[in-house]
A and B are shown apart, each in its own frame.
Chain A
């Protein structure tokens, strides 16, 4: 039986992702276009918030991916620490800037929505604050990757930073909750609660989330491939210089 670990082989990884990626790109493009057009033009305005409510189709998926990208980096870092597959470390490295951009999108769309509704671009609300802190963690992680020259040490150090950072990010989340009560509404998509977003908004939102997930996977695959090829090029160049 084929095991997942076969994809730790860079050649196999590139071959498989090459085959999958067109589908991912197409799927995410279709989902995003359908979801956004549906959401922007074919849902009613909210009776209190007017059309500003429609920013939810960018805000919620990007916020979701910002957190999930960090979780994916955490898993990839663990795999690197335990099994030392280079593809895994490179995937974690590849996901970080994508996650950081998702965090910025979530913060920016939130600010655009907050300006007319809350009357301010920014408040020190627990959710907003913890997202800002998450963004700082992304920055530190990316900076550490780019600061270390040796590839293996960089992978080791960043994966430990990712583990420690996860614990502290979680701690900060609860500390911030303790520190200030917020304006931000509670979860609007949980599966177990009665009070969710109305169905008219819910289905296009699901399509948008699917689009963001596919987009994220495609971007991470692409960036991981780039990292693998860059590393291969470096090795080839070094070999050429020697011989």
Chain B
């Protein structure tokens, strides 16, 4: 399992593209928002937590098809499936690798981009916390979507359609934590809900992803 993880990480670092592209996308989304809604500082500050969450979510979505598609194309996914590693663990490792390479950079970059959107002072900490707690759920759910569409030729668009509705609860609670944090309100309730979703998803969804992947590899 750790061998698979280091392999995926090394591939992402050496082949490039992985987190660089996601980060650049996140930056562009954030830069485009003021052009769309106008440069008024107060308005930007109010919508900043939501925009940052949405941008991180979309950047995450963008990199999902790299989780399994490359391994599927060169056949290493078949090898991995026959390896003495339970499929559930395989998809969990893949999700972990995706989180480290694609989501973690977004979490780190989000407060920096918050400066661009005039995020209120107390918001930075809670934005960081909510993203750190919420993005693992995005990676795990995304792995399920990637496993569902891995065999399809043009699966990317379909995967967005399948995954985005599944992201709704995570987005609601995550953005709520960031929003309340920025407004200086109590965040404990949405934060526990968000953590609950993340842990629940990590515990249960790999079984569904593994089942789906087995069907696709049949």
A161–B218 Cα distance when bound, in Å, is 18
A37 contacts the other chain (CB 8 A): no
Q: Identify which of residues 105-143 in chain A touch chain B, using a CB-to-CB cut-off of 8 Å.
A: 133, 136-137, 139-140, 143
Please determine whether B165 and A136 come into contact, CB atoms closer than 8 angstroms: yes
Contact count band on A: 20 to 34
A69–B176 Cα distance when bound, in Å, is 31
Distance from B132 Cβ to chain A, minimum over Cβ atoms (Å): 19
Q: Identify which of residues 52-87 in chain A touch chain B, using a CB-to-CB cut-off of 8 Å.
A: none
Please determine whether B162 and A140 come into contact, CB atoms closer than 8 angstroms: yes
Main secondary structure of the interface of A (DSSP, over half): helix
B211 contacts the other chain (CB 8 A): yes
B148 contacts the other chain (CB 8 A): yes
Q: Which of B28-36, B94-102, B114-122, B167-175 contacts A (4 or more CB under 8 A)?
A: B167-175
Distance from B193 Cβ to chain A, minimum over Cβ atoms (Å): 7
Out of A137, A144, A160, A175, name the residue touching B158 (CB < 8 Å): A144
Contact count band on B: 20 to 34
A165–B148 Cα distance when bound, in Å, is 13
**For A156, what are the chain B residues with a Cβ–Cβ distance below 8 Å?**
215
Please determine whether A175 and B168 come into contact, CB atoms closer than 8 angstroms: yes
20 contacts between A and B (CB under 8 A): A133-B168, A136-B164, A137-B165, A143-B162, A144-B148, A144-B162, A153-B215, A153-B216, A157-B215, A160-B215, A163-B208, A164-B166, A165-B166, A168-B168, A171-B197, A174-B169, A175-B173, A176-B172, A178-B176, A179-B172
